[in-house]
A and B are shown apart, each in its own frame.
Chain A
Amino acid sequence: MAESVAAGRVTARKRRVHKDAKGWVFVGPFLAVFALTFLAPIGYAIYLSLFREQAFFGGNVFVGLDNYVEAIQDSKFWDAFGRVLVFLIVQVPIMLILALLAALAIDSLRLHAAGFFRIVIFLPYAVPGVVAVLMWGYIYGNNFGLAADLNDLFGTTAIQPLSSHWMLPSIANIVTWEFVGYNMLIFYSALRTVPGELYEAAAIDGAGTFRTIRAVKLPALRGAIVIATIFSIIGSFQLFNEPNILRTLAPNVITTYYTPNMYAYNLSFAGQQFNYSATIAIVMGIITAIIAYVVQLRGSREAL
């Protein structure tokens, strides 16, 4: 940190932070609840994943890593995983690029009523995900949605957002609609921290709008982009609400193992296979953590 800047090193450190175990008074309550709701379930899930329920004798039997071996060979799991991976590779870049463009446009000072745009584009974030899905689900629907209107208008039946072919793009559209504004705000507030002198220097050097974006704004956004990417990856791997709610509208298209999270959920609550469900959850947790870590490493290495 900035310790070395201060003149007297020892006194500076002493003044900067209070060396005192009293800090635990403030951190303790948070950590207690954190242990109960984060650490204990993780530990319990790991414990569960090492056992298997016996069909006839009852009770759990220790099976070591057998559940993990089963998960790795489980085609349903990989089917679900492949789907969220495709979703991630396609939807996340689209969403983040839209958010980036919106943030740059709002920050550019070239927009009429920039403040209004910022608020309205952020607005979907205030809409509960469940309501967003219900709303879009009806809009997609053939009964009274906009999709039905468009089909009537053009005299076709071509627009079928809830068909198996279009379901994943339809879900991607909902997620994009929900989260562009949130990511835009992340990028926009990073842009706000760019020192004015940098713009002045760029202007003196004769840099135009796009040059300034490339040389000044994008480097300033790097950290924000890494963070937003990690959040989006975690969000994609956790995909649950959207497909689970749309399932009632298209039960034949969305399977019980449409995403890894839905698979884990249905294993538990429809199949009572708690041990295997915990295993799936842990495998997904590990994969997510690894990918998030790699993205972070790459992001910070490129920053150097």
Chain B
Amino acid sequence: MSTSTATLTPATATSTTTTRKKKTGTSPLRPKRSPLLTGVMVLYLIYTLVPLLWLFISATKTQNDLLSSPGLWFGKSFAFFTNIKDTLTYNDGIFLRWLGNTVLYVVVGAGGATLLATAAGYGLAKYAFAGRRAVFAVLLGAVAVPGTALAVPTFLMFSNLGLTNTVWAIIIPSLVSPFGLYLMWVYATDAVPVELLEAARIDGAGEVRIFFTVALRLLAPGIVTTLLFAVVSTWNNYFLPLIMLSKPNLYPLTVGLTQWSNQATGVGAHPIYNLVITGSLLTIVPLVVAFLLLQRFWQSGLSAGSVK
């Protein structure tokens, strides 16, 4: 039972079909820690963090300070809270509207995608119905087609159906995550013992009920990982809303922020750099928090098999 949580990232799922051993990943002898290696890695860490540090520092500056003070140090005034207030209230609080839209797209889109992928992955893993191989072939073929290449035809189709400029134009395409399906398929194969399903069937439980009462609990770590990646891709979605929506009050944060950024150039330019920067920071925060909170799951999933 317990070995099923040994590994739990999409990577593992896609890259290994080997049997999972209880003792994995650790060298038998603990080597000495190397200051040199740590030092080299710190350099990479700096590269990773400098842009984020720049963003944070810049979010404390007024528009004038942005132009007059060095990038990695604070300006004359500390305008962090003013910037946040201005970002949230600019243009009748359109930023909050975008935030609400993003949350809606993420909850319904990523939530729905996770549910569909979980059910389908479980179905493919545990039922030998006719056409299972065909499903696999079609999925593989479709995944090879670049997602954004589909965007234009999808737009034209949705336009004919009268779905553009509605929330459905964003939500419906977000509901499909072939990657999530693959993940759940691989995960369900190992995590749900067939004996348990048989026992439930003998007790007279229906298939759907078995899924919700028996299988879902066993699939939970896989579901969290799938959800995490679905949330990221929906939260970050830019291309799809860019083409599907022309009404600013339906925009998610990504499209809204670029629109603010575009205000700085062109005819009647009205730059609001400080708001774009503060808005960017506010856009990052929820995802980083979600990652850190959910991290426990995939951390434990990752390290469950290794010797502590």
Contacts and interface: CB of A to CB of B under 8 A. Distances in A.
Given A111-B33, A187-B11, A134 B261 contact: yes
B100 interface: no
Nearest to A45: B153
Interface in B241-265: 243, 253-255, 257-258, 261-262, 264-265
Interface centre among A146, A195, A203, A209 (most CB of B within 10 A): A195
A211 interface: no
B44 A192 contact: no
Interface string B141-156: 1101111111111111
A120 B48 contact: yes
A176 to B, nearest CB: 9
Contacts, number: 356
Interface stretch (B80-88, B89-97, B284-292): B284-292
Contact of B15 (A39, A130, A186): A186
A33 B35 CA distance: 52
Nearest to B253: A128
Contacts of A200: 28
Given A131-B280, A190-B12, A203-B27, A26 B123 contact: yes
A48 B149 CA distance: 13
A112 B283 CA distance: 31
A102 interface: yes
B18 interface: yes
Contact of A26 (B44, B120, B145, B258): B120
B288 A123 contact: yes
Contacts of B27: 109, 196, 199, 203, 212
B150 A41 contact: yes
- Interface size class of chain B, counting residues whose CB lies under 8 Å from the partner chain: 35 or more
B120 to A, nearest CB: 4
A23 B132 contact: yes
A126 B287 contact: yes
Main secondary structure on A side of the interface with B: helix
Contacts of B151: 265, 281
A25 B207 contact: yes
B51 A22 contact: no
Contacts of B5: none
A138 B277 contact: yes
Contacts of A110: 31-34, 37
Given A123-B288, A128-B235, A288-B146, A48 B153 contact: yes
A125 interface: yes
A264 to B, nearest CB: 6
Contacts of A15: 194-195, 198
B258 A130 contact: yes
Interface of A: 2, 15-27, 29-31, 33-34, 36-42, 44-45, 48, 98, 102, 105, 107-113, 117, 119-132, 134-139, 143-146, 148-149, 177, 181, 185-197, 199-200, 203, 209, 212, 221, 223-224, 227, 234, 237-238, 240-241, 245, 248-249, 251, 261, 264-265, 268-269, 274, 277-278, 281-282, 284-285, 288-289, 292-293
22 contacts: A15-B198, A20-B207, A23-B124, A26-B120, A27-B124, A27-B129, A33-B175, A37-B175, A38-B145, A38-B178, A108-B31, A112-B33, A117-B41, A128-B235, A129-B238, A144-B71, A146-B71, A181-B48, A189-B7, A189-B8, A190-B12, A199-B28
Given A121-B44, A126-B232, 16 more contacts: A25-B208, A105-B41, A111-B37, A121-B48, A127-B287, A128-B253, A131-B257, A146-B71, A181-B48, A189-B11, A190-B15, A195-B24, A224-B15, A245-B261, A248-B261, A289-B144
